[in-house]
Structure 1
Amino acid sequence: MISFTLLLLFFTREGDVKKIDIVYTFLFHIPLIVGITIYWIGLKFFRKRGIQYAVLSAFFSLIIILALYPISFKLIGAWLFPDYFLIASYDWTEMGGIGLIYIVISSLLFIAEQWRDQQSELIKLAQLEEEAKKAELKALRSQINPHFLFNSLNLIYSEAIKKSDQSPVLILKLSDMLRYALEKAEKERVNLQDEVNYIADYIDLQTARMNNPAHVVFHTTGNFDDYEIAPLLLLNFVENSFVHSDLSDRPEIQIEISIENGILDFTCSNKKRDQLSPKKNGVGLGIQNSKRRLDLTYPDKYSLQIKDSDGRYFVQLKIELT
């Protein structure tokens, strides 16, 4: 439509558009339309074959335009508009130049269409990847509650066997922690202070049955209220330090959480028991869970260092929360 309008104005000689001008412009466009259509089909068919096929399609289309140009006026024009005497006034070099311009414009339009389609596919792919990421994060978070619940119930069971007065207190604390987990686990981010409080409750739950609770040191530094973090992300590391330790002796567990300039610094270390039973040695799943969540939630924004020596187990995690 743009081409027809522009050429109609170009072919109009006397200022006012007349029927003969419309007829001439129509006949002039027949070879262009046929040639460009063939070229477009060739581009669609050979788009994955290489640039040489695109050049071959352009050359063939240009030949079609040159061949149809005189036919359009001598045969089609005489058949459709017998009352007009119309001639092909451009020679083959001029018409070839015009045809080449149309081929170049068509090529640019084709490239633009392919780029648009490619961007649309990239957007769809990104959306699918984001949906898959959210689904995987949801699955990883769902693994936390049963794991934590299993260990905590074992703790309360051991206290109940001894008919300890701590059992009701521990059950109430566990209830509060499960309520927090149920409310926060499905969220993408939670208040960092709430998460630190949750870890503090977990530590209290664990130290309640220890012979030497003073050997567990939990220290925090900084203002946590201004930041958010993925829920239950640090719990696996804290839980792992207790699982690795001999809680009946001197576990020497040290847990520190600090925040400065938006950088969360979490360190956790413990004295390892002499020999881990196969059952207790299966804590690797929780650590792998945390690593995967970190990769998905904080890509290129965290560093994780784990040292597992003969005597101590050490974890340092830094996350950029801003």
Structure 2
Amino acid sequence: MQFNITPLSDSIVQSIKHKIDSKTKPLGALGMLETIALKVARIQETDSPSLKNPTLVVFAGDHGIAKEGQVNPYPQSVTAQMVYNFLEGGAAINSFCKQNSIDLKIVDAGVNHNFKNAPGLIDAKIEYGTRNYQQGPAMQLDQGYAAIAKGATIVSTIYKTGCNCIGFGEMGIGNTSSAALLMAAFTGIPIKDCVGAGTGLSSSGIAQKKEILARVFKGCTATSPIEKLAYFGGFEIAMMTGAFLRAAELKMTVLVDGFIASSALLVAHALHKNVLDYCIFMHNSGEQGHHKILEYFRQNAILDLGMRLGEGTGAAVAFPILQSAIGFLNDMASFETAQIDNPM
């Protein structure tokens, strides 16, 4: 699979910076809002950017290891139950998307359940969950490629509706374990420093999770990015990988959520470095490995509220700040238009 992701151009950087610095404020007084405005303007290659039809896609998938209950306090069945909750409008992400006028899409990437054409659900199922990576690769290579392709196709379809701003969330009991393994595989950070509480493990539960994942990691012989993705699994993570790559290829502004989404971005980044140019990190997750991923990418997140729910909730909550960044760039008067003396 080939994605043609071009790096951001520097051609209009100076004109955008001039526009920002000419606003009726001291230089740099809007802090990170100015950085965000500059990035979105560079992505859209205009000094008057806009956020059109913002959309958040939640990919859901099950993990073979979750059947054992060794690394997750919630049973695997909760994944399907939460998908129904999303479809019925009862989850946190539904509330935040409604509040901020973000279109929400729910995707069955590989849940261990037959939804029987549930209304509103995008059926992209690869399989009824991945295999348990304690016994070998979680998915076959062709399944990994298929998931990436489906994620890319879903983004292409959304893009055709006029959307230029997209974020990704996930649901999958056990997926913080897959994310931790992928984090270790792509960053070189020791696995013990990548593992957190997930959906609420006790200290003894975290210790057991670290022990199990350390054995899994040690037994993996995968070398290429796709092989690593396939070994540690997560159809929802693989689908997000393709979604990140296609969104960047289409020059969309990409909203990065928390730990799981960032693990998918690690895979996407290994496949194409330029994907990072189009990404804005919306929040720093309370899952302990996430801030290390941000350090690895050398990125700062907009918010740090201790959130670790997933679902894309951090991206949705931070979205109004993105709107504020675009708003001041487009609507705020300059010293010249407001006829105010500029001391600079």
Q: TM-score range by the shorter chain?
A: under 0.3
Q: TM-score when scaled to structure 1?
A: 0.25
Q: Which has the higher strand share?
A: 1
Structure with bigger RCO (C-alpha 8 Å, 6+ apart): 2
Q: Which has the higher helix share?
A: 1
Q: TM-score when scaled to structure 2?
A: 0.24
> Which protein shows a greater Rg?
1
